[in-house]
A and B are shown apart, each in its own frame.
Chain A
C-alpha cells in the first residue's frame, strides 16, 4: 500500500499556479526526490503534504487515510499527519538545548519522561550526535545542526520524512558526507523520504525515483537511470546531466545535422552526420531536436563515417577530458578518456546514441 498519494493536486496563490495537476504515489520505504529549478513548486508540494496549507483542488492521502481532501472536507493539521520535516534553515529552536529540541515532539505527545530520554539517546546515537544533549544550537556547526534537525524529525517514527533542500546550506565536502549519511539512515530505519532539491547530482545519487518538475508541472517520474537514459523531453534531458542539443534531419538512410537547437532546421548550413543504422536513434528520425550526452560521442582522427569537426578547446577533468568540438555552426561538448587530441586537430565525429524529441 502506498504511503502517500497525491491525487491531481493543484495549488494557486492568487494568480500564480505554483503546483498544477500533481499526481504521485510514494511507496513504503521509498526515497523520492522532487527535482527542478528554483521556483518550480517543489517546496509548495512538500508543504501541501505537510499540511501547512490546503490544496486548491485534488486530494492527498497519507497511509491510505485522506489528509487533505476538500471534497470530503477533510484537512488534518500538520501535527496529526505523522510526518517529520527538516527545514532548509534547520529551524532548531535557539532557546532550547539539543536534547529539548529533539524531545519536543514526544513531549507534545505526552510521552513519559523515561521513554523520552531513551528515545533521545537512541536517535542521537543514530545521527552520531551523542554527548551533545546539553549544548545549544548556536554552539553547533552547520553539519551538526543538520543532524539534530534530522533527529528531531525522526524521533516520533514518522511515516514520511520531508527534507527541503537539506544540503544547500552546507559546504561541498560536508554535503557529500551528509548524502551518504542520509542514505544510511534511510536504509537503517526504512522510513519513506521525500526530498526536495535543485541539484541533479544530489537527486541522482540518493533517490529511488525522481520527479522532475518545472513551472508546477511534472515532466517525468522515473528512476535515475530512466531519467538519464531516456528523458521524455528536452527539459528533462537538459536538467538531468549535461546534454548537447541540435537539429537533425533524415535524408534517405543518412542523418544530417542542420544547425543548433534554436535554428529553424532549414538546409542552409546542413552538414552530413552519419548513416542512420550506426546512430542508435531513439525516437522517430525524420526531423527533430537531437540530444546527446557528452559521453554519447565518438571522435577519431580517421574514421570513414561521421561529420567533420575541429577541436576548439579542451578541459582536463582528471579521469577524462572534455573537448569542445566544432561541427559546422555547432559546438559539441564531448567527453572521452582519450587525452591525445590537440587543439586544432581535425576529427571525425559520430554518435554512439542520439535521442530525438
Chain B
C-alpha cells in the first residue's frame, strides 16, 4: 500500500511545490501574448526566406547571397562595423582610463558633454552633422567664404560620415563599460604593481589593461552589433550617395514594389544580421560570465582619483576641444538651421526666426506626428511595464516550468535590429488575421505591437533586476500574515519595485518617442511618428522645420535622461 502511495505523494508534492511559488493562473496568457507578438512574426520571417514565387525554394537566399548590390551592402556593413568598433575603442578606452583614474579640472561637465551623442537618436545626430559638414553645411560654407574655393572642404556624405557618426555613438558605450569595471576593479592589483616599482604607464599596460580586457571586448561586441543594426545614420548620410548597408538595403528592397519577391529577398538579407546578432549574443554572455569572477570584486574599488598635476589642465584642454568639435559644434549647427528663415541663408541676426518652432504646433502634419508619438510612447511604455512586471514576477518568483522560455522570448527581440522586426511584422500582419478578419497592416496598432516586441526586453530586464533585490522573506511575511498571492503582489512586490517600474517605463518611453527604424516601415498616412516626420521633412527639403523638430527631440531626450537618473537614483543614467 505504501509503495502505491509513494507515487501519488510525489506528484502531490511536486504540484504543491510549484504552487508554493507565485503561480498566477494568467502566466500562460502572458506567454501566449508574448509568443504571438514576438515569436509569430519572426517565424513568418524565417518561412519567407524559404519561399520564392510562392513556392518552397532556396532561390531568395541565392539572390540575397549572390546579387551584386546585396553582396556590396553586406561588405559595407562589415566595413562600417569593423571601422566603427576600432575607432570607438581607440577613443573610448583611453578616455575612460584618463577620466576614471585622474582628477581633471571640470571633468564632470566634460564627461556629460562627451556622453551626449549616445543619448541623441542617431538620425538626429547625423542630421546635425549634415548641417555642419554637408555640402552646404556651415563649416564648408565658412571655408569657401574665406578661401574663395568653389568646392566644399569635406563632405559628410558617404562611408566616412556614416562611420564618424557611429563612432560618436559608439565610444560612449566603450567609455561607460570600461569606466564601470574600472570602478569595481580592486585597486589592490594596481597598487601592488606600483609597490613593486612599476611606473604608472607600465602599470596600466601590464595590470590595468589586461584586467579590463573582458569588459573591453564586451563593449566592442556591443558597439559592433549596434552599429551594424543602425538604420537612421546610413539612411541619412549613406543612401543619398548610393552607399548602402544591410539595414538600408533591406529597407529599400522592402519598398521596391516593382521587384518580384522583394519581401522574400529582404527576409533573406536579414539572415546576415540575425546570424551576427545571435553570434554576438552568445559571445557576450560568455564574456560576461567569465568577467564576473575576474575583475569585479565589489569591494576595494578605487574611488579616490589621482590628484590633478599640471598635466590635468592639458587633459582638460584636450577633452574640451574634443567635446566642442564633436558634440557642441554639430548641435550649434542644427540649432542655427532651426532658427534660420530659409535654408542656405547666412546665420546673421536678420535671418533668424522662430517660425519653424511655432509651425510645429500649427501644422497638422507635425502636430499629428507629435500626438501619435506621445500616444504610442505612452501606451508602449505602460504596456511594456505591466507585461514586463508580470513576466518578471513569473520568471523570478514562480517555479513554473517554461519560465525560462518566457524570459527568452520576451528579451530576445531586444537584440534584433529594428529593421528586421518591422519586416517580420509586415510579413506577419500584411494579410488580415485569419478568423477575425481584422487587418493590422496600415494601422496604428502594428506600430504599437512592434514597439512592444522590441522594447519589452528592457522592462523585463530592469524589473527582474529589481525583484532580485527584494528579499523573499518580505513576501513570506505577507503570506504568513494571511496574505494571498494577489495581496503579495499588490501590497509588497509592486510598491517595493516602484523604482524599477518607473525606470523601465522611462527606458521604453524615451526610445519609443523618437523611434524611426521600425516606424518608417510600418507607418501609413496619418500615422506618422516624430521620427518619420523628421525624416520626411528632411527628404522634402524642409530643413528648418526638421531642425526645429530635432531640437525638440534633443531637449526631450536630455530631460528624459535626467528624470531617469533621478528615478533610478543614478543607476540607469548615462550623464553621471
Chain A contact residues, CB within 8 Å of chain B = 50-57, 70-71, 73, 75, 77-81, 83-85, 87-89, 91-95, 104-105, 108-109, 152, 156
Contact = CB atoms under 8 A, between A and B. Distances in A.
Nearest to B5: A71
A87 B473 contact: yes
B54 interface: no
A192 B13 CA distance: 28
A57 B487 contact: no
Contacts of B496: 93-95
Given A83-B480, A108-B481, A73 B12 contact: yes
Contact of A104 (B8, B16, B478, B495): B478
B539 interface: no
A56 B477 CA distance: 23
Given A80-B482, A108-B481, A91 B476 contact: yes
Nearest to B494: A95
Contacts of A54: 12-13, 16-17, 20
Interface string B1-40: 0000110111011001100100000000000000000000
B483 interface: yes
A89 B473 contact: yes
A79 B485 CA distance: 11
Given A89-B473, A93-B474, A152-B477, A55 B482 contact: no
Given A79-B483, A108-B482, A53 B476 contact: no
A70 B9 contact: yes
B471 interface: yes
A57 B9 contact: yes
B492 interface: yes
Nearest to A73: B12
Contact of B480 (A70, A71, A79): A79
A26 B6 CA distance: 27
A52 B476 contact: yes
Contact of A91 (B9, B16, B474, B483): B474
Interface string B216-248: 000000000000000000000000000000000
Interface of A is mostly: loop
Contact of A77 (B477, B479, B491, B495): B479
Interface of B is mostly: helix
Interface of B: 5-6, 8-10, 12-13, 16-17, 20, 471, 473-474, 476-484, 487, 491-492, 495-496
Contact of A108 (B13, B474, B487, B495): B487
A52 B473 contact: no
Which 10 A-B residue pairings sit nearest by Cβ, starting from the closest? Answer: A79-B482, A91-B473, A105-B481, A54-B16, A91-B477, A108-B482, A87-B473, A78-B480, A78-B479, A70-B9
B7 to A, nearest CB: 11
A296 B477 CA distance: 46
Contacts of B10: 56
A234 B491 CA distance: 49
Given A57-B9, A70-B9, A93 B477 contact: yes
B204 to A, nearest CB: 41
Nearest to B16: A54
Given A71-B9, A79-B482, A105-B482, A85 B16 contact: no
Contacts of A55: 13
B471 A91 contact: yes
20 contacts: A51-B480, A54-B13, A54-B16, A56-B9, A56-B10, A70-B9, A71-B5, A73-B12, A75-B16, A77-B479, A79-B483, A81-B480, A87-B473, A87-B477, A91-B471, A91-B473, A94-B496, A108-B487, A152-B477, A156-B481
A242 to B, nearest CB: 34
Contact of A85 (B12, B471, B477, B484): B477
Residue in B8, B13, B495 with the greatest tally of chain A CB atoms within 10 Å: B13
A95 B478 CA distance: 13
Given A75-B16, A79-B479, A105-B482, A88 B9 contact: no
B482 A109 contact: yes
Residue in A51, A52, A78 with the greatest tally of chain B CB atoms within 10 Å: A78
A87 B484 contact: no
A3 B491 CA distance: 31
A85 B480 contact: yes
Contact of B481 (A51, A53, A95, A104): A104
A152 B476 CA distance: 13
A70 B476 contact: no
Given A71-B5, A79-B479, A52 B20 contact: yes
Contacts of B483: 79, 104, 108
Contacts of A104: 478, 481, 483, 491
Nearest to A54: B16
Contacts of B491: 104
A21 to B, nearest CB: 14
Nearest to B483: A108
B480 A50 contact: yes
Given A53-B16, A54-B12, A79 B484 contact: yes
B484 to A, nearest CB: 7
A291 to B, nearest CB: 39
A80 B482 CA distance: 6
Contacts of B8: 70
B13 A56 contact: yes
Given A78-B480, A80-B482, A91-B477, 6 more contacts: A52-B20, A53-B16, A54-B12, A55-B13, A88-B473, A156-B482
A49 B533 CA distance: 63
A55 B491 CA distance: 28
A100 to B, nearest CB: 10
A92 B481 CA distance: 12
Contacts of B9: 56-57, 70-71
A240 B496 CA distance: 42
B495 to A, nearest CB: 5
Contacts of A94: 496
A156 B12 CA distance: 30
Nearest to B498: A95
Residue in A52, A88, A152, A156 with the greatest tally of chain B CB atoms within 10 Å: A52
Nearest to B474: A91
A104 B491 CA distance: 10
A50 B482 CA distance: 12
A347 to B, nearest CB: 50
A152 B481 contact: yes
B33 to A, nearest CB: 29
B477 A70 contact: no
Nearest to B10: A56
A207 to B, nearest CB: 22
Contacts of A79: 479-484
Nearest to B471: A89
Contacts of A83: 480
Contacts of A53: 16-17, 20
A94 B497 CA distance: 12
B13 A70 contact: yes
Nearest to A86: B477
A93 B492 contact: yes
B492 to A, nearest CB: 6
Contacts of B5: 71
A168 to B, nearest CB: 14
Contacts of A78: 476, 479-480
B23 to A, nearest CB: 12
Contacts of A70: 8-9, 12-13, 16
B263 to A, nearest CB: 49
A93 B479 CA distance: 13
